[in-house]
Structure 1
Amino acid sequence: GVGGAPLGGDQLGRDVLSRLLHGGSALIGSALVVAAVVTFLATLLGCFAVLSPRLGRLVERAADTAILLPSVLGIMLVALAWPGGGRLAVSVAAVVLGTPYAVRIVAGAAAPLAATGFVEAATASGERLVHLALREILPNLRATVLALFGLRFVEAVYVIAMAGFLQLGPRPPEADWALMIRENGPGILLNPWAVLAPGLAIGLLAVGVNLAANALAPATARRAALR
């Protein structure tokens, strides 16, 4: 780079490094919010689903529908129908599409717990459904919830970045890694770093969080979250 810009300038002459440093905060923040909301909803609903056959059936149907609906199509439908579109619309779409499948994951991990003696004893003693879900089952799902959060964060990064490529999220001239790749793609031969730097940033972010989740969560929880 020249003129104090180590990675050069983009197609409009703006400092690539400066935009790279500013463009990650919104993406990371949005992905964290999406992952936290999906994990929270999935954990609560999953714990209740294994105790309520009716809720369990609803979860199964919702998960089957969410899996059949391509994520790109779902995001487009929500973002285009949302007044003004933008990052909030993409985040809402990611939560709506990601929660049903995540609930199934939690329910799968909670099902063996719901059949254990201590839960049956609590049920026989007249404990309410809320107590069974939050006091008897939830505390034993910490590893699964941690692994689920890491994987949902990685998925949210990819979904939000993909929406940026499709111009369904943030709008120019906002600094955003996905937008940087899209905007500077035609001029990649003039300054490859304008495209490679944000692309590498997205990849390293996803890989780094995934490795951290793998290191913190036991292998059994990882396998459950990946199913």
Structure 2
Amino acid sequence: MTAALPVAAPRPSRRARTTTLVATAALPLLLSLGGPLAAPHRVDTPVTAPFAAPGDGALLGGDQLGRDVLSRVLHGGTPLILGALLVAVVTTVAAVLTGCLAVLRPALGRAVERCADVAILLPPLLGIMLIALAWPGGGRWAVLAAAVILGVPYAVRVVAAAAAPLATAGYVEAALARGESTPYIALREILPNLRATVLTLFGLRFVEAVYVISMAGFLQIGPQPPASDWSLMVRENAPGILLSPWAVLAPSLAIALLAITVNLVTLSLAPDTTAKTVTRS
């Protein structure tokens, strides 16, 4: 008798993996957007001693003013997510339109390339400080504007590099021969073939926006106390991390979990570029 060979367990399908990642990413998003409704205490009301250990009055302890860390974490995600989403949408749309038009108009493409090269050389931290400090009134909108301005040049280069091979495709040349306008060719002929690039770029821009907004909040360039902001919580409670570690760890883990899960979901939703492509006639 021959021993039966062990049968390998079937690998989960791409759809199953995507569903799992989406469900995982939905948890921090729901907690962030719906957190204020579930917060046990008011965000600005002291409920315990400063830097108190976790107890009955505060599940994750108190911050530097004795406010409930859990309540402030539940309140602090909404501004970050909405701001990062706005930055990602504006940056991706601007990059897609500019990149697609640039590959169809060589003169415009060269100008965009030179401007992008110069902008990319600007250190992100210096760029944030220059834009935020020069913005009238500063604040959160200044940080969002800085994130868009710093993110568009890199995104344009990515879109232009992906769209360049498509500009010489047969269906694009046929559209040019028919006398179609440049915006029509960019939006109807080139853009539909950049779905994977655009979706991946959107995820990367969202994660980058989370990084930029969090860094600005940590430097107190954007939101100011007593706002409940994750990055601002890290900055404010850093001196008492040994007394109340969750006051720093909880917002830090929330930022990391948000960025990682959104990035993984975006990559899983992108079309499989290794699949056989269908050539348009």
TM-score (norm 1): 0.95
SS state at 2:164 partner: helix
Q: Quote the residue 1:28 is aligned against.
A: 81
Q: Quote the residue 1:48 is aligned against.
A: 101
Q: Distance in 1 between matches of 2:160 and 2:189?
A: 14
Contact 1:79 1:168 in 2 (8 A): yes
Figure out how many residues of one structure are paired with residues of the other and give that number.
221
SS state at 1:50 partner: helix
How far did 1:4 drift? 2.9
- Deviations along 1:37-91, whole A, 9 cap, x unmatched? 0001001111101001121112211221121100000000000001111110000
Q: Distance in 1 between matches of 2:240 and 2:273?
A: 46
Q: Quote the residue 2:113 is aligned against.
A: 60
How far did 1:205 drift? 0.6
1:132 aligns with 2:185: yes
1:183 aligns with 2:239: no
Q: Structure 1: which amino acid aligns with 2:205? A: R
Q: Distance in 2 between matches of 1:196 and 1:80?
A: 29
Match of 2:166 among 110, 113, 121: 113
How far did 1:128 drift? 1.1
1:6 aligns with 2:74: no
- Deviations along 1:110-146, whole A, 9 cap, x unmatched? 1111110110011012111111111111111111110
Structure 2 unaligned regions, length at least 5: 1-53, 275-281
Structure 1 unaligned regions, length at least 5: 222-227
Which has the larger displacement, 57-66 or 194-203?
57-66
SS state at 1:197 partner: helix
Q: Quote the residue 1:225 is aligned against.
A: none
Flag the structure with more relative contact order, 1 or 2, with Cα contacts below 8 A and sequence separation at least 6.
Answer: 1
1:17 aligns with 2:60: no
More helix by share: 1
Q: Distance in 1 between matches of 2:127 and 2:152?
A: 13
Identical amino acids, percent of aligned pairs: 72
Q: Distance in 1 between matches of 2:171 and 2:56?
A: 68
Q: Quote the residue 1:142 is aligned against.
A: 195
Q: Distance in 2 between matches of 1:219 and 1:100?
A: 26
User: Which runs of at least 4 in structure 1 moved beyond 2 Å after TM superposition?
Assistant: 218-221
How large is the Cα RMSD of the aligned pairs?
A: 1.2
Contact 2:195 2:271 in 1 (8 A): no
- Deviations along 1:94-123, whole A, 9 cap, x unmatched? 101110110110111111111101100110
Q: Distance in 1 between matches of 2:224 and 2:271?
A: 40
Contact 1:66 1:98 in 2 (8 A): no
TM-score (norm 2): 0.77
State which structure, 1 or 2, has the greater radius of gyration over its C-alpha atoms: 2
1:209 aligns with 2:262: yes
Q: Distance in 1 between matches of 2:248 and 2:271?
A: 36
1:158 aligns with 2:211: yes
